[in-house]
Amino acid sequence: MNIKRLTDLDVAGKRVFIRADLNVPQDDNLAITDDTRIRAALPGIKYALDKGAAVMVTSHLGRPTEGDFKPEDSLAPVAKRMSELLGQEVRLVQNWVDGGFDVKPGQVVMLENSRCNKGEKKANDELSQKMAALCDVWVHDAFGTAHRAEATTYGMGKYAKIACAGPCVASELEALTKALAQPARPLVAIVGGSKVSTKVTVLESLAAKVDQLVVGGGIANTFLLAAGKKIGKSLAEHDLVDQAKAVMAKVKVPLPTDVVVAKEFSATAPATIKSIDDVADDDMILDIGPNSAKALADIIAQAGTVVWNGPVGVFEMDAFAQGTKTLADAIVHSKAFSLAGGGDTVSAINTFGIQDKVGYISTAGGAFLEFLEGKKLPAVEILEQRANG
């Protein structure tokens, strides 16, 4: 992938505008409850500062109404936390689109919530040009927003003197390309989750690329239906059985041979291991069984690349977590390059404490899925277009 990288540029004395992903969770008092995204943005900011750039950084936060700024929309808590982590002041600048604020080389300012500006979401051309005029170098370092064509994530890239990728985006694209464009074979994809409908295009796209496609959760139940198996009162989408059959016609989809069932969706419900052929009409499938989990582990052990998006059971409940835990353990012990992404997947990784043992963990949600679907991400597209100019 041909893109410019921030780390390849001489930014001494330049005004560098970094679009980061600082959309952190906050409690009712607006206190930050997890600063992971702020920490992830620091390498790009520190690089620019250390090279003598004057740094501006912005992000969206929450879902503000454009042109209607409210106190709860403010990046003030983020600026305060970033000041603590950087060990230097990060001044918050309001109403920044027209300029009029000062930032010197070695300094960094936080520009207020980007989505409060009218025209941001639709990448308004006039707004994008005004923003681009603020800087010498525009840096996209928010992969989680790469699928959105907004003024700060895409529009600025058209008009800035130089457009480049920050360390977060560069490493994410490198990992995704390694896993999907140039994978070591066999390539195994694991797609879990509750509904086929939310991931049908991902499944169809992966079916054409992978050597084996493992499905889990409610998605597996729909595939079991398609294979003529009984699933009791388990979550499934009967109207998508034909799509499941079409996917199975393109690629090998190993289905569970045994499952963990309960009579109700509850952490206290008695869990029973059954053959898939013995599932009763009032059973709910909430996890794969030990034989299926071992077969999955064997597949992963032979893989060259593993892409993981979604658990294979209700891992949040101890009685139905073993299948996903076995999968996680298999990935840890595999020699394959592993790429994991999606909110539930990251939660499972954190639950089982394997954060440092997965090849690459993508914290992006929509952008990660759209990349798996084979879609062109607007932010990546503009970076490629501007690579030589």
The bridge status of strand 360-362 relative to strand 337-341 is parallel
Four-residue CA torsion sign, 50, 24, 380, 149: negative
Instruction: Return the closest-CA partner of residue 204 out of 144, 148, 245.
Output: 245
Catalytic annotation, pick one of 14, 15, 19, 37: 37
Contact 221, 234 (CB under 8 A): yes
- Determine whether 195 is an active site residue: yes
Q: Is 343 a catalytic residue?
A: yes
CA distances from residue 356 to 335, 345, 347, 349 in whole angstroms, order as listed: 15, 14, 14, 9
Using an 8 Å Cβ cutoff, are 53 and 99 in contact? no
DSSP 127: H
Sign of CA dihedral 116, 118, 122, 125: negative
Q: Which of 121, 122, 195, 263 is catalytic?
A: 195
* Catalytically annotated residue among 106, 232, 359, 366: 366
Beta strands in the chain (DSSP E): 15-20, 54-58, 90-93, 108-111, 137-141, 162-165, 187-191, 212-215, 258-262, 272-275, 284-288, 305-309, 337-341, 360-362
- Segment holding 156, helix H or strand E: helix 156-159
Q: What's the rounded Cα separation, in Å, for the pair 367 and 151?
A: 17
- The whole-angstrom separation of Cα 187 and Cα 209 is 8
| Residue 151 DSSP symbol | I
Let me know if 366 is a catalytic residue.
Answer: yes
Q: What is the bridge-based pairing of β-strands 258-262 and 272-275?
A: antiparallel
Angle at which helix 322-333 crosses helix 343-351, to 10 degrees, equals 80
Residues forming the active site: 37, 195, 343, 366
